[in-house]
């Protein structure tokens, strides 16, 4: 178990480095990983090393996506639902969390959170099977605004967008956590009502606003 | 009737005229209030270095108030914004005006029913320290919705004057004028209403002493810098001595790194909380009064997935009747044949013939391609009325609140071609005049969207002048011909739009639009707006039409026109299957698309063209290179390189489609 944990953490470490564009071995070695461990990942077919640069193999990429998905979902859960705001403790918790989540539990959390697309830091959460099928076996706590039906109300829990300009636009219009939004119609475009404002927004934006349903 | 007055472009602080800036969210009636205050003495111009238009005017306040003798105050209308931290060009202009114009005071206009959103700006103004007051406009709509606002409480919470108003009915105007005269005597004072997160307050305390003095308080400047306003940083660096930019940068980045959310969001959250507290204290909302009014029901129908479509079709039909038949038909007829044909041009021709002896100059002015008899006559007597009628109609759509609902109905289609619903505005304008519509592509957010919209306008949106002739010509023939033409053109718009959205680099913006309630438009407001728009359009477009005519005159005189006709005629006869004489119609169509259509009309009347040839010719004519004025505007907006690229593509593509249409029609025997 302990060994597996380290193994997963190493994949995660390398994956995050690659995601950020730092692919040289020396960049990665600065962290809590030894050259031997990197070599062993190579032998297990997780990575390839080409001129001191590390790349994930197809298998490695899949492994990494699973691990990072668990990690970032855990962050969302801790941050948005359990509202643990302390950065260092929630980060550490998320690290512990990711190792004992099996696929079913991961999918349940993902569904519970309304299939979020980014972590609280704005990094992408790779979609799992539950995100594409959108199975509704488990009742979500938080829904993305576009999944509400016409006439339903939701109070904004958080806005998860990679694009700061959208966040700024929404917040200057008055759409912020705590604001109650009603879906007026969904076709031909989403029209929402909040306070005394009627507004139309793209599905892509509605997808990034997460709400708790209200009656 | 309408007096022109020259005003200083700059409203300076040291001069004798105090200046006041109008600020507010979009759709709160700022321009109406501006109009009420200034009357017609207005100067509309682009803000330096931008495409954003701002209006300046003056008011004379007469009499004595509180012992002060009143004098002139100059007023500047700023673009509507939701925040003073610049995210869009409009917002940057507004922020720049506060910084550079050094206003004596600010009037913030708030839509009373949306008090909270307005307060988000009020709180930013309070931090700035410039004396200001708040107008709660459209107060009647708020009352109708069961909203009560405790004005006195609001006023004391904010520490400023608050005036309820219904600008369209001039209610509250007297109080506003009184307020303005007092405003220009107030002292600057920062009102610290919002309490931000400790980390941010701390950063403000450390930043403010490092910043050079400006028209805006250090507290406010610090908040803008923390929000990542790099333009401002540059401005401060240029304007302050010993400005320790590195130290400032360090504080900013340290503070920003502390938060896991973007710092703009953290700051905005602080303001949201403060605004929420104020609203809780003075904003009362009686749910029982919330009735489903006619206006609301109509508004809902206009964007209904089903009922919205017949309404859309009716609106377009009425537009065709009003702009196409009344404007492009009757009004143009009157202007062209009576005013210009019978009175103006004969006089001008006579005068020119007597005072100008050189025949070549005479011809350049009043000949077949004369700058006066064709260039000016065309732009004033044909384009003028069409544009005027169009703007009246457009103004009604705008002021009634239908326009944003129209963007909803069309968002889906436009999304497919790399645009979003907002693009419907220039497209609808294009049915009036493509030249004008190309200017209007400025309202689109990204460069990519502006390129696509400009291309599509030039390619397949027939202007009203052309539509009139085409419909007249085809109407008598066969419904099928019209149908084939419409399908052909629409198909090209979709294909080219789709491909362009894939090929052109850059990104499209997201669709986000506020829907104001449906209102009955005020005629005076619409006429006022139309007047300024037509004036603006004429100023921009008439010179282009004159230059265009002159170029054609040169081509004709130098014999190049005939040469081009010779060169082009194999394409016209070979690829399109049209008689050689149609070539002239196409080339002249570049100057005036409707002339081209009329040229084809004559050929058809003489029985030279069969149905297939008419269909092909008109389709190509619509798709073909836009008129020369349009081409100039494309150069102006997109640069010469892109303009030539677009024009060449369109020319090639129009012929390609025409050729294909010719082959298909001959093969499938629908028309023969």
pLDDT in tens, B291-319: 457 888 888 899 888 899 899 889 988 98
Give the pLDDT score at B323.
80
Confidence of residue B542 (pLDDT cuts 50, 70, 90): confident
Residue B192 CA: distances (Å) to CA of A165, B154, B260, B407, B619? 26, 15, 26, 40, 64
Q: Hey, are the CB atoms on B87 and A168 less than 8 Å from each other? A: yes
Of A121, A164, A189, the CB nearest to B421: A189
Can you give the length of chain A in residues? 215
- Chain B interface includes A59 (CB < 8 A): no
DSSP string, A132-193: HHT--SS--SEEEGGGSPTT-EEEEEEE--S-HHHHHHHHHHT--TT-EEEEEE-SSSEEEE
Q: Hey, are the CB atoms on A168 and B513 less than 8 Å from each other? A: no
Q: Please report residues of B whose CB lies closer than 8 A to that of A207.
A: none
Confidence of residue B202 (pLDDT cuts 50, 70, 90): very high
Confidence of residue B68 (pLDDT cuts 50, 70, 90): low
Torsions phi, psi of A55, nearest 5? Answer: -130, 150
Dihedral of alpha carbons B623, B625, B627, B629, sign: positive
Q: Hey, are the CB atoms on A173 and B511 less than 8 Å from each other? A: no
Q: Is there a contact between B324 and B466 (Cβ–Cβ < 8 Å)?
A: no
Query: B415-434: b or e for each residue (b if 16 or more CB lie within 10 Å)?
Result: bebbbbbbbbbbbbbbbbbb
- The span from the CA of B184 to the CA of B386, in Å, is 44
Residue B78 CA: distances (Å) to CA of B12, B21, B122? 16, 7, 15
Q: Please report residues of B whose CB lies closer than 8 A to that of A185.
A: 300, 303-305
Comparing B15 with B477, which gets the higher pLDDT? Answer: B477
- The span from the CA of B193 to the CA of B154, in Å, is 12
Residues of chain B with pLDDT > 70, as a percent, come to 90
Torsions phi, psi of B444, nearest 5? Answer: -75, 150
Mutate to test the interface with B, among A156, A174, A183, A191 (most CBs of B within 10 A): A174
Give the pLDDT score at B40.
62
- How do residues B593-638 score in pLDDT, each as one tens digit? 666 666 777 777 777 888 888 889 889 988 986 677 788 889 988 9
Give the pLDDT score at B51.
56
Which residues touch A52 (CB under 8 Å, ≥6 apart)? A24, A25, A26
Determine the average pLDDT of the residues in B459-477: 76
Give the pLDDT score at B3.
34
Q: Please report residues of A whose CB lies closer than 8 A to that of B409.
A: 188
Of A164, A169, A171, the CB nearest to B512: A169
Among chain A residues, the shortest Cα distance to B279 is held by A195
Give the pLDDT score at B54.
78
- Chain B interface includes A150 (CB < 8 A): no
Among chain B residues, the shortest Cα distance to A204 is held by B510
Residue B392 CA: distances (Å) to CA of B91, B386, B521, B531? 28, 10, 11, 9
B171 bridge partner residues: B166
A210 bridge partner residues: A144, A158
Comparing B228 with B220, which gets the higher pLDDT? Answer: B220
Q: Please report residues of B whose CB lies closer than 8 A to that of A120.
A: 260
Give the pLDDT score at B463.
81
Of B87, B116, B511, the CB nearest to A165: B87
Q: Hey, are the CB atoms on A201 and B83 less than 8 Å from each other? A: no
Is residue B290 pLDDT above 70, yes or no?
A: no
- Chain B interface includes A48 (CB < 8 A): no
pLDDT in tens, chain A (215 residues): 455 777 888 888 888 888 888 778 877 777 778 888 888 888 888 888 887 888 888 888 888 888 888 888 888 888 777 766 666 676 777 777 777 777 777 877 887 788 888 888 778 888 887 777 655 555 667 888 998 999 999 988 888 776 777 888 888 888 988 889 999 999 888 999 998 889 999 888 998 898 888 87
Q: Hey, are the CB atoms on A200 and B407 less than 8 Å from each other? A: yes
- Chain B interface includes A121 (CB < 8 A): yes
In this prediction the ipTM stands at 0.77
Q: Is there a contact between B236 and B252 (Cβ–Cβ < 8 Å)?
A: no
B649 preceded by a cis bond (ω within 30 of 0):
no
- Chain B interface includes A187 (CB < 8 A): yes
Q: Is there a contact between B236 and B167 (Cβ–Cβ < 8 Å)?
A: no
Q: Which two tokens stand for residue B322?
A: 């009003």
- Can you list the domains of chain B with their CATH numbers? 19-183 (3.40.50.300), 198-289 (1.10.287.1770)
The enclosing H or E element of B528 equals helix B523-557
Closest CA to A19 of A115, A133, A164, A126: A126
Q: Hey, are the CB atoms on B514 and A201 less than 8 Å from each other? A: no
Among chain A residues, the shortest Cα distance to B141 is held by A196
Q: Hey, are the CB atoms on B409 and A172 less than 8 Å from each other? A: no
Q: Hey, are the CB atoms on B268 and A172 less than 8 Å from each other? A: yes
Torsions phi, psi of B105, nearest 5? Answer: -160, 165
Q: Please report residues of A whose CB lies closer than 8 A to that of B117.
A: 172-174, 195, 197
Is residue B131 pLDDT above 80, yes or no?
A: yes
Give the pLDDT score at B204.
93
Closest CA to B604 of B579, B626, B584: B579
Torsions phi, psi of A145, nearest 5? Answer: -60, -35
Give the pLDDT score at B63.
54
Closest CA to B349 of B365, B333, B337: B365
Residue A196 CA: distances (Å) to CA of B143, B271, B296? 12, 19, 12
Closest CA to B582 of B555, B617, B557, B536: B617
- The span from the CA of A96 to the CA of B549, in Å, is 77
Comparing B81 with B70, which gets the higher pLDDT? Answer: B81
Of A174, A177, A184, the CB nearest to B120: A174
Q: Please report residues of B whose CB lies closer than 8 A to that of A168.
A: 83, 85, 87, 262, 264-265, 268
- The span from the CA of A146 to the CA of A190, in Å, is 8
Interface of B with A (CB under 8 A): 82-83, 85, 87, 113-114, 116-117, 120, 142, 145, 147, 260, 262, 264-265, 268-269, 272, 299-300, 303-305, 308, 404, 407-409, 411-412, 420-421, 510-517
- Chain B interface includes A166 (CB < 8 A): yes
- The span from the CA of B196 to the CA of B271, in Å, is 8
- How do residues B30-61 score in pLDDT, each as one tens digit? 888 888 888 765 666 655 555 567 788 888 77
Residue A34 CA: distances (Å) to CA of A26, A39, A43, A90, A132? 11, 9, 14, 26, 38
Give the pLDDT score at B552.
80
Q: Please report residues of A whose CB lies closer than 8 A to that of B515.
A: 191, 198-200
Q: Hey, are the CB atoms on B269 and A174 less than 8 Å from each other? A: no
Of B269, B404, B409, the CB nearest to A176: B269
Torsions phi, psi of A193, nearest 5? Answer: -120, 130
Q: Which phi-psi region, left, alpha or beta, contains residue B15 (left: φ > 0; alpha: ψ -120 to 50)?
A: beta
Q: Give the minimum alpha-carbon distance from B521 to chain A in angstroms, rounded to a whole number.
A: 19
- Chain B interface includes A174 (CB < 8 A): yes
Mutate to test the interface with A, among B260, B285, B402, B449 (most CBs of A within 10 A): B260
Chain A to chain B Cβ contacts (< 8 Å)? 111
Dihedral of alpha carbons A122, A128, A132, A136, sign: negative
Q: Please report residues of B whose CB lies closer than 8 A to that of A195.
A: 114, 116-117
- How do residues B385-443 score in pLDDT, each as one tens digit? 888 888 898 889 888 889 889 888 888 889 889 898 889 888 888 887 788 788 888 87
Closest CA to B440 of B456, B453, B455: B453
β strands within B301-369, DSSP E: none
Q: Which two tokens stand for residue B417?
A: 């071609």
Is residue B657 pLDDT above 90, yes or no?
A: yes
Of A87, A189, A196, the CB nearest to B114: A196
Q: Please report residues of A whose CB lies closer than 8 A to that of B262.
A: 164, 167-168
Q: Is there a contact between B115 and B136 (Cβ–Cβ < 8 Å)?
A: yes
Which residues touch A76 (CB under 8 Å, ≥6 apart)? A113, A116, A119, A120, A125
Of A172, A185, A195, the CB nearest to B83: A172
Is residue B568 pLDDT above 70, yes or no?
A: yes
Q: Which phi-psi region, left, alpha or beta, contains residue B67 (left: φ > 0; alpha: ψ -120 to 50)?
A: left
- Chain B interface includes A189 (CB < 8 A): yes
- The span from the CA of B407 to the CA of B412, in Å, is 9
Closest CA to B101 of B219, B9, B233, B239: B9
Lowest mean pLDDT among A103-107, B201-205, B450-454: A103-107
DSSP string, A102-138: -HHHHHHHHHHTT--SB-TTSPBPPP-HHHHHT--SS
- Chain B interface includes A127 (CB < 8 A): no
- The span from the CA of B499 to the CA of B456, in Å, is 12
Among chain B residues, the shortest Cα distance to A188 is held by B305
Lowest mean pLDDT among B63-67, B125-129, B480-484: B63-67
Among chain B residues, the shortest Cα distance to A170 is held by B512
């Amino acid at each position: 178990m302990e060994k597996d944990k380290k193994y997963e953490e190493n994949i995660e470490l390398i994956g995050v480095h690659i995601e950020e564009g730092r692919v040289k071995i020396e960049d990665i070695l600065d962290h809590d990983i030894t050259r031997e461990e990197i070599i062993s990942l190579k032998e297990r077919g997780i990575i390839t090393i080409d001129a001191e640069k590390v790349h994930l193999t197809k298998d490695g990429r899949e492994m990494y996506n699973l691990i990072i998905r668990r990690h970032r979902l855990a962050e969302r859960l801790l941050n948005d639902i359990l509202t643990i705001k302390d950065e260092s403790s929630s980060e550490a918790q998320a690290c512990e969390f990711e190792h004992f989540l099996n696929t079913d539990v991961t999918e349940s959390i993902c569904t519970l959170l309304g299939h979020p697309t980014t972590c609280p830091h704005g990094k992408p959460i790779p979609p799992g099977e539950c995100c594409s099928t959108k199975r509704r076996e488990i009742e979500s706590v938080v829904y993305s605004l576009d999944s509400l039906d016409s006439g339903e109300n939701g109070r904004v829990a958080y806005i998860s967008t990679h694009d700061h300009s959208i966040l700024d636009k929404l917040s200057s219009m008055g759409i912020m956590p705590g604001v109650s939004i009603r879906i007026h119609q969904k076709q031909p475009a989403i029209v929402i009502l909040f306070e005394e404002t009627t507004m139309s927004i793209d599905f892509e934006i509605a997808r990034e606003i997460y709400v708790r349903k209200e009656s | 009737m309408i007096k022109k007055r020259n005003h200083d472009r700059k409203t300076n602080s040291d001069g004798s005229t105090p200046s006041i800036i109008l600020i507010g969210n979009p759709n709160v009636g700022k321009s109406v209030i501006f109009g009420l205050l200034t009357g017609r003495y207005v100067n509309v111009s682009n803000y330096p270095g931008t495409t954003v238009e701002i209006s300046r005017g003056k008011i004379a306040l007469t009499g004595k108030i509180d012992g002060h003798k009143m004098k002139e105050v100059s007023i500047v209308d700023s673009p509507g914004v939701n925040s003073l931290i610049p995210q869009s060009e409009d917002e940057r202009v507004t922020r720049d005006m506060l910084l550079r114009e050094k206003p004596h005071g600010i009037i913030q206009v708030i839509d009373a029913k949306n008090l909270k959103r307005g307060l988000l700006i009020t709180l930013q103004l309070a931090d700035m320290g410039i004396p200001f007051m708040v107008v709660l406009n459209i107060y009647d709509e708020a009352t109708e919705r069961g909203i009560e606002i405790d004005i006195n409480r609001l006023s004391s919470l904010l520490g400023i004057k608050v005036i309820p108003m219904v600008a369209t009915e001039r209610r509250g105007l007297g109080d506003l004028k009184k307020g303005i005269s007092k405003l220009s005597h107030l002292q600057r004072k920062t009102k610290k209403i919002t309490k931000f997160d400790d980390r941010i307050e701390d950063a403000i305390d450390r930043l403010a002493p490092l910043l050079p003095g400006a028209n805006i308080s250090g507290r406010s400047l610090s908040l803008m810098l923390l929000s990542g306003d790099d333009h401002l940083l540059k401005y401060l660096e240029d304007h302050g001595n010993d400005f320790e930019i590195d130290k400032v940068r360090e504080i900013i980045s340290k503070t920003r790194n502390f938060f896991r959310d973007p710092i703009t969001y953290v700051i905005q959250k602080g303001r949201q909380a403060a605004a929420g507290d104020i609203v809780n204290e003075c904003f009362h909302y009686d749910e029982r009064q919330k009735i489903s009014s006619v206006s609301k029901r109509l508004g809902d129908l206009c964007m209904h997935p089903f009922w919205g479509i017949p309404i859309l079709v009716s609106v377009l039909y009425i537009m065709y009747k009003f702009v196409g038949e009344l404007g492009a038909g009757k009004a143009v007829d009157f202007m062209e044949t009576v005013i210009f044909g019978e009175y103006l041009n004969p006089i001008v021709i006579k005068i020119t013939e007597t005072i100008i002896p050189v025949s070549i100059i005479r011809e350049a002015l009043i000949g077949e391609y004369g700058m006066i008899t064709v260039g000016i006559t065309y732009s004033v007597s044909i384009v003028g009325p069409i544009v005027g009628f169009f703007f009246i109609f457009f103004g009604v759509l705008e002021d009634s609140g239908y326009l944003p609902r129209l963007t909803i109905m069309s968002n889906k289609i436009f999304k497919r071609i790399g645009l979003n619903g907002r693009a419907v505005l220039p497209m609808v304008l294009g049915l009036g005049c493509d030249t004008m519509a190309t200017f209007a592509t400025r309202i689109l957010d990204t460069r990519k969207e502006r390129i696509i919209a400009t291309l599509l306008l030039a390619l397949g949106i027939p202007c009203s002048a052309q539509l009139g002739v085409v419909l007249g010509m085809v109407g008598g023939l066969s419904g099928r011909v019209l149908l084939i033409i419409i399908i052909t053109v629409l198909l090209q718009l979709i294909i080219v739009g789709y491909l362009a959205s894939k090929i052109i680099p850059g990104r499209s913006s997201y669709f986000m639009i506020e829907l104001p309630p449906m209102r009955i438009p005020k005629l005076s407001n619409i006429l006022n707006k139309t007047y300024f728009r037509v004036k603006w359009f004429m100023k921009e477009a008439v010179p282009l039409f004159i230059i265009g005519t002159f170029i054609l005159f040169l081509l004709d005189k130098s014999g190049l026109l005939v040469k081009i006709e010779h060169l082009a005629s194999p394409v016209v006869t070979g690829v399109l299957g049209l008689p050689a004489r149609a070539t002239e119609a196409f080339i002249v169509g570049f100057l005036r698309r409707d002339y081209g259509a009329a040229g084809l009309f004559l050929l058809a009347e003489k029985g030279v063209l069969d149905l297939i040839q008419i269909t092909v010719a008109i389709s190509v004519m619509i798709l073909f290179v836009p008129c020369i004025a349009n081409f100039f505007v494309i150069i102006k907006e997109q640069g010469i390189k892109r303009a030539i690229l677009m024009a060449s593509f369109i020319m090639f593509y129009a012929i390609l489609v025409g050729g294909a249409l010719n082959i298909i029609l001959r093969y499938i025997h629908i028309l023969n």
